[in-house]
Structure 1
Amino acid sequence: MRPIRQARAMADFGVLHEGINAGGGAEAVGLHTVSALADAGHEVTLYTTGEPDLRTLADDYDLDFPAEVRVRSVRTPAISAVNHAATLARPLGVTDFPLLRTAVFERVVARRYRPDHDRLVCTHGEFQVDGAVEYVHFPYFSADAMRRYDTRFAESLYPAYHRVCRTVKRRESDAETLTLTNSAWTADVLHETLGTDATVVHPPVAVDAFDPPTWTEQESGFVAVGRLHPLKRQDELVEVVAGLRERGIDTHLHLVGSDGSAEYADRLRAQAREFDWLHVEGRVARDRLVSLLERHRYAIHGRRYEHFGIAVAEALAAGCLPFVHASGGQQEVVAGIDALRYEDVPSAVTTTASVLDSSETQASLRDRLDGRAAQYSRDRFERAMREAVESTLR
């Protein structure tokens, strides 16, 4: 690594994000990090796989990258071999090897390009390379963390696959590594499972895209945002709203998100044909999503152990009262308010009913959450991320 320059002087950063085209919240972290560092005048190279088009990504994420930002698509026989192995494994139900591809990609970039930069900044997760900055969404390479907070270790082949990924990862000494993460909950998981101390920098949320109407103009219904997949537990959300209606509460539910599991999505659509209060919207355009959230008073989130919960923060910005499972980082978005948290379907019915039945409770909750969404803005993320990365140059 070349000599470090003085703090605030222009530096040269390599930003790693394998799969920048994936289109999720993690990719928003990567692209806004590139934007923040480039806008500050630093030299930035984005390392990724595939064929990213920075102009298209800028449009998708409402960003304006300086022309000087460089993109390097990393291709090696090792990465190609991982992709080929995933193709061969599809008959077994395996569609991808993301952890293994990520580990191989990181080794290639660190070995080839680390000397070219003042710092490497990894925004897709654990990097574990001396002198780097890592933004950890969740410690996916920790077997302990995965067993506690994920379901994949229950799959017959996953423990062996995970062991291979950990072997390729080969953690180096992290004495100089700066670890950032998305929530206090994830920071606690990192400390418990890896002994790593992390600084919380909440991910960027497009809170300024929302301009909700007055509460009286909003419908007394729920919106749930997230890919249609068993992990998101939309089937349980349907049970919650059905339970509310059995209590005589006139409400409804919109499910918004792409098909994460075709079989699961088909079951939800079959229920929608049976219940006129259930609307499976599927994947919708951004303006449609914004409109749905702004038009409804309530949002509900079924995912357990969510690492942060961008959909929950967007619902908050849209003027909704969001109900979340009492686990994970999504609790922080609703300020840990008990009236907005639930443990299971029966408690969710009881919790939401107590709010829907009381205009005074609704007003009190809105007052407590007023202005909270602003702390998750994209400007706030870029400023915090830039300051954190630049602090490593001192």
Structure 2
Amino acid sequence: MNNREIRVGIIHKSIFSRHGGGGAEIFSLELASALKELGFRVIYIAGDEYNWGYYRKISGVNVKIDGEILFRNPPLFKAYDEFIDMLRLNSMRREIDILINTNGGVKPIPFVDITYIHSPLLFNMWYSWPSIYKAYLFPRNAILKSFAKHNMLGLILTNSRFTKIEIKKVMGLDSIVLYPPIDVERYMKYSNNEKRERLVISIGRFSPKKRYEDLIEIASRVKDVKFVIIGAVSDVNYMRRITRLIKEKGLSNVIVKPNASFQEKLELLSRAKVYLHTARNERFGISIVEGMAAGCVPVVYRSRGPWLDILEERQGVYGFAYRDLDEAASMIGNVLDNDVLWREILINTRSHVLKFSRNAFKRKLMMIMKETLATRNHYD
């Protein structure tokens, strides 16, 4: 069987299907694109109709899938729809050769072939849920945890070494790190621009997890520097809160660009000298690598994937990691005022970012697909 005869179903039942999604949604699109380039047929399985035009606009990924299947389950059983999905997917086994769940940390579906986990949210959030909600979902979570314990989620893939450690800790499962594919070559075309401005870029959906309040505080300490926030609007109220906070502080050096196009993002990155990432609970951080490839020095919070996987715990080699806002402001000022330092880090990152490239992703993905097919054929 050649690749063109192999049908791959990508399952991503995102709550952001019509509105501002984030890295998980774009990853599923990138995965579909990579599989198509490798010659596979791709069928998309979603909980609602995907706004393909929107995602192509913000990601720059233009992929033509071979089919789309909608799984709309009754609202009454929404919390238990993994089990309904399991039954429906099992009935499709003759039509689809490999099933990949790309939202496995939130919606783990048993008996798929591959589960990609961006974050084991289901297993982490349980402790903070209200008691009445815990009682309602107790049977569901007990069954899902049993499936995970007995390794019924297929091959587990994840986005970083940090998440790999976390999955082992909270789920007891081994996993393989498959870094999200990033079109670094496309971004690197913009890295040669040496006429950089005193400009700092931050990219990420408008969500409290991104901590744009910290960016505003940093901007208030370096008022001779321009800051631009680019983000998909997944939380309108949070975006309004951020714009209101900017006005309250009287900051003219912070600009918000909601739902900016991919081309506008590239243009801004080509002019900026620093990429600032204020999120503190990031498992990886696709936009950090994009900024690095485009010629920006990353300044990130010192924790998790950005520090462990992207900067590789090497301060000042591929970028800088801060512990508090004063340190962040100082690091930004240092990079902006020191062209020699900026060039040194730019040289270091040019080869480093290639480990996160689409080509690196496709090579590893092809190996995984071959092993998965061999396993399926062995048991069929």
Is this a same-fold pair by TM over 0.5?
yes
Aligned residue identity for 1:21: S
- Picking from 62, 71, 76, the partner of 1:74 is 71
Q: Which residue of 2 aligns with 1:362?
A: 342
Deviations 1:338-368 (A, max 9, x none): 2410122123223333433433332332222
Q: Does 1:183 align with 2:160?
A: yes
**How far 1:140 sits from its partner (Å)?**
1.5
Partner Cα distance (1:54, 1:259) in 2:
16
- Picking from 3, 10, 16, the partner of 1:15 is 10
**How far 1:71 sits from its partner (Å)?**
2.0
- Picking from 283, 290, 293, the partner of 1:317 is 293
Partner Cα distance (2:292, 2:240) in 1:
29
Q: Which residue of 2 aligns with 1:301?
A: 277
Partner Cα distance (1:154, 1:354) in 2:
43
Superposed CA RMSD = 3.2
**How far 1:306 sits from its partner (Å)?**
0.6
Change (3 A) 1:258 1:9: closer
**Within-5 A mapping of 1:184-263:** 184-210=161-187, 211-212=189-190, 214=192, 216-245=194-223, 250-263=224-237
Q: Which residue of 2 aligns with 1:330?
A: 306
- Picking from 258, 263, 268, the partner of 2:242 is 268
Q: Which residue of 2 aligns with 1:95?
A: none
Change (3 A) 1:12 1:283: closer
Aligned length: 359
Q: Which residue of 2 aligns with 1:24?
A: 22
The answer to which of 349-358 and 280-289 deviates more is 349-358
**Within-5 A mapping of 1:81-120:** 81-82=76-77, 100=79, 103-104=82-83, 106-114=85-93, 116-120=95-99
Identity across matched positions, percent = 23
Question: Aligned with 1:29: secondary structure?
Answer: helix
Aligned residue identity for 2:298: P
Partner Cα distance (1:229, 1:21) in 2:
16
Partner Cα distance (1:321, 1:158) in 2:
44
Change (3 A) 1:24 1:101: farther
Q: Which residue of 1 aligns with 2:31?
A: 33
Q: Which residue of 1 aligns with 2:325?
A: 345
Q: Which residue of 2 aligns with 1:97?
A: none
Partner Cα distance (2:236, 2:97) in 1:
45
Q: Which runs of 5+ in 1 are unaligned?
A: 84-99
Question: Aligned with 1:217: secondary structure?
Answer: coil
Q: Does 1:129 align with 2:128?
A: no
Partner Cα distance (1:206, 1:261) in 2:
27
Paired residues of 2:26 and 2:55 also in contact (CA < 8 A)? no
Partner Cα distance (2:235, 2:36) in 1:
38
Q: Which residue of 1 aligns with 2:378?
A: none
Question: Aligned with 2:48: secondary structure?
Answer: coil
**How far 1:281 sits from its partner (Å)?**
2.2
Change (3 A) 1:362 1:161: farther
**Within-5 A mapping of 1:33-72:** 33-52=31-50, 61-65=60-64, 69-72=66-69
Paired residues of 1:133 and 1:389 also in contact (CA < 8 A)? no
Partner Cα distance (2:232, 2:139) in 1:
31
Question: Aligned with 1:34: secondary structure?
Answer: helix
**How far 1:321 sits from its partner (Å)?**
0.5
TM-score of the superposition, structure 2-length normalised? 0.81
**How far 1:195 sits from its partner (Å)?**
1.6
Deviations 1:186-233 (A, max 9, x none): 111111111211111111223343332545401022111122332211
Paired residues of 1:226 and 1:258 also in contact (CA < 8 A)? yes
Paired residues of 1:36 and 1:383 also in contact (CA < 8 A)? no
Q: Does 1:138 align with 2:119?
A: yes
Partner Cα distance (1:330, 1:189) in 2:
15
Deviations 1:114-144 (A, max 9, x none): 45544322122243534621111111121xx
TM-score of the superposition, structure 1-length normalised? 0.78
The answer to which of 256-265 and 293-302 deviates more is 256-265
**How far 1:252 sits from its partner (Å)?**
1.8
